[in-house]
């Protein structure tokens, strides 16, 4: 009984401290994950990610992996995304760049899928440990999605080709437009501002403050998103130099049959708005992106590695079998 009391006392102290921290939301841990700087620039950086002003900024590389949360699952065709971020006159610009040797501009057949990219923020700016901005039932999110098939001036159309016109223009026949489907509107944007406040609530926001554009060049997509610091609607974060914000990224490669949940996603990182100038490089770096389409999905490499793992496992087993068990025994 006497020994049990101190133990109970220690347990009580731990619980009381934890309760106090939980109630006051005072998280004693500090995030140490990848932080992407959003640097100050003195001129409008524009939405062309291939421009020298963008390309001279050093990117932060974020590894991505297959999405495996909700059916349809899979993806992972893109292994990393290069991120650059700047701010100009209280507007945030974020650029995603990734390697893709087969640009997909059209989703005009049921088996054709578009390239796309998305950025996700918590609805309220902040950085939590552990990262809970995505997927918790009580955490709303704001998603910026860009789709290549929603951009005007699509390449690849025959110059003298014909486009069928749909004669009816009323809501009775254009039901998707009438229902408010953002992909069916006459005036469309390549970026969609989506908000979700819980289960099954993902919807398009009316806000048109979000702008974006994708550029394809040298086997890479470069997509720039821009939005003022102050949000135009609910469930969208306000950006501030004083408050880093959690952020995650996703990319779809249409020609690899990626769509919906089949995509490449990143872990959570942080975006920090800083008053400093961006770190730049004089010339384009080599080695940022592969110069060829990587073999899918490193099959021979994986087989060799599995063989190595099996050999190591065997060696461990052999070592354990040879080692005498237990303590030295002294016959009495």
Partner 1 sequence: MPLGGLPVLLGAWVVAELLFLRTATRTLVHIPGLGRFETPITALAEVGRWGYFLATVSLVAILAVLAYRGLRQRDTRGRLSGAATALFLVVAGAGRAGLLTSEILGWSSLATVVIVTAASWRGPRTLPIALFTLGSFAAGVSVLAQGSGGGLSGRQVDTLVLVAEISLILAGVTTPLLLDMTPRPPAVFAGLAAATLGVGALVTGGSTLSILVLWNLGVPGWLSGVAYALALGAMVTTLWSSFATRDWLRAIGLFLMLAGGLGVISTYQTGLVVAGILLIGMSLDEEAVQDSQPVEVVPGNEIARPMAGTSA
Q: 99 to 158, contacts with partner 1 by CB under 8 A?
A: 129-130, 132, 134-138
**Whole-angstrom distance, CA of residue 219 vs CA of residue 229:** 32
Residues 164-193 that bind partner 1 (CB under 8 A): none
Q: With CB under 8 A as the contact rule, which of the stretches 17-25, 87-95, 105-113, 179-187 interacts with partner 1?
A: 17-25
Q: Judged by CB under 8 A, does residue 309 bind partner 1? A: yes
**Whole-angstrom distance, CA of residue 152 vs CA of residue 149:** 8
Rounded to a whole number of angstroms, the minimum distance from the CB of residue 307 to partner 1 is 10
Residues 43-62 that bind partner 1 (CB under 8 A): 57-61
Q: Which of 5, 32, 108, 111 binds partner 1 (CB under 8 A)?
A: 32
Rounded to a whole number of angstroms, the minimum distance from the CB of residue 226 to partner 1 is 20
Cβ atoms of residues 256 and 98 within 8 Å: no
In the three-class reduction of DSSP (H, G, I as helix; E, B as strand; rest coil), residue 119 is classed as strand
Closer residue to partner 1 (CB): 34 or 51: 34
Rounded to a whole number of angstroms, the minimum distance from the CB of residue 190 to partner 1 is 25
Rounded alpha-carbon distances, angstroms, from residue 178 to 16, 90, 107, 174, 183: 56, 35, 21, 6, 11
Cβ atoms of residues 195 and 141 within 8 Å: yes
Helices (H), 203-274: none
Q: Which of 1, 40, 67, 164 binds partner 1 (CB under 8 A)?
A: 67
Rounded to a whole number of angstroms, the minimum distance from the CB of residue 315 to partner 1 is 9
Q: Judged by CB under 8 A, does residue 18 bind partner 1? A: yes
Cβ atoms of residues 253 and 101 within 8 Å: no
Q: Judged by CB under 8 A, does residue 15 bind partner 1? A: yes
CA angle 28/268/262 to nearest 5° reads 150
Q: Which of 12, 44, 68, 284 binds partner 1 (CB under 8 A)?
A: 68
Cα R_g (the chain), whole angstroms: 26
Q: Which of 45, 49, 76, 103 binds partner 1 (CB under 8 A)?
A: 76
Q: Judged by CB under 8 A, does residue 41 bind partner 1? A: no
Q: Judged by CB under 8 A, does residue 292 bind partner 1? A: no
Closer residue to partner 1 (CB): 183 or 315: 315
Q: Which residues contact 61 (CB under 8 A, 6 or more apart)?
A: 80, 81, 82, 83, 288
Q: Which of 43, 170, 186, 331 binds partner 1 (CB under 8 A)?
A: 331
Residues 218-277 that bind partner 1 (CB under 8 A): 265, 267, 272, 274
**Whole-angstrom distance, CA of residue 243 vs CA of residue 267:** 20
């Amino acid at each position: 009984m006497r020994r049990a009391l101190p133990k109970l006392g220690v347990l009580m102290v731990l619980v009381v401290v934890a309760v106090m921290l939980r109630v006051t939301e005072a998280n004693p841990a500090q995030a140490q994950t990848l932080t992407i700087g959003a640097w100050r620039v003195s001129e409008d950086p524009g939405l062309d990610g291939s421009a020298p002003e963008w390309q001279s900024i050093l990117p932060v590389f974020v590894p991505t992996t297959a999405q495996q949360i909700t059916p349809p699952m899979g993806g992972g065709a893109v292994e990393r995304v290069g991120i650059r971020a700047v701010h100009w006159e209280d507007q945030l610009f974020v650029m995603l760049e990734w390697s893709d040797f087969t640009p997909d501009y059209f989703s005009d057949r049921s088996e054709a899928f578009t390239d796309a990219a998305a950025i996700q923020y918590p609805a309220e700016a902040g950085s939590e440990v552990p990262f809970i901005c995505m997927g918790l039932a009580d955490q709303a999110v704001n998603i910026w999605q860009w789709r290549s098939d929603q951009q005007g001036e699509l390449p690849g159309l025959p110059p003298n080709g014909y486009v069928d016109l749909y004669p009816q223009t009323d809501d009775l026949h254009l039901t998707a437009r009438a229902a408010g489907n953002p992909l069916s509107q006459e005036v469309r944007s390549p970026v969609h501002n989506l908000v979700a406040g819980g289960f099954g609530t993902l919807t398009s926001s009316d806000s048109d403050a979000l702008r974006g554009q994708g550029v394809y060049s040298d086997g890479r997509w470069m997509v720039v998103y821009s939005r003022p610091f102050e949000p135009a609607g609910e469930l969208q974060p306000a950006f501030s130099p004083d408050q880093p914000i959690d952020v995650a990224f996703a990319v779809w490669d249409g020609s690899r049959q990626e769509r919906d949940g089949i995509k490449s996603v990143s872990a959570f990182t942080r975006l920090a708005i800083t008053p400093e100038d961006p770190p730049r490089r004089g010339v384009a770096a080599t080695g940022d992106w592969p110069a060829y389409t990587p073999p899918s999905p490193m099959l021979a490499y994986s087989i060799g590695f599995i063989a190595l793992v099996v050999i190591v496992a065997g060696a461990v087993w052999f070592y354990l079998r040879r080692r005498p068990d237990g303590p030295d025994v002294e016959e009495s």
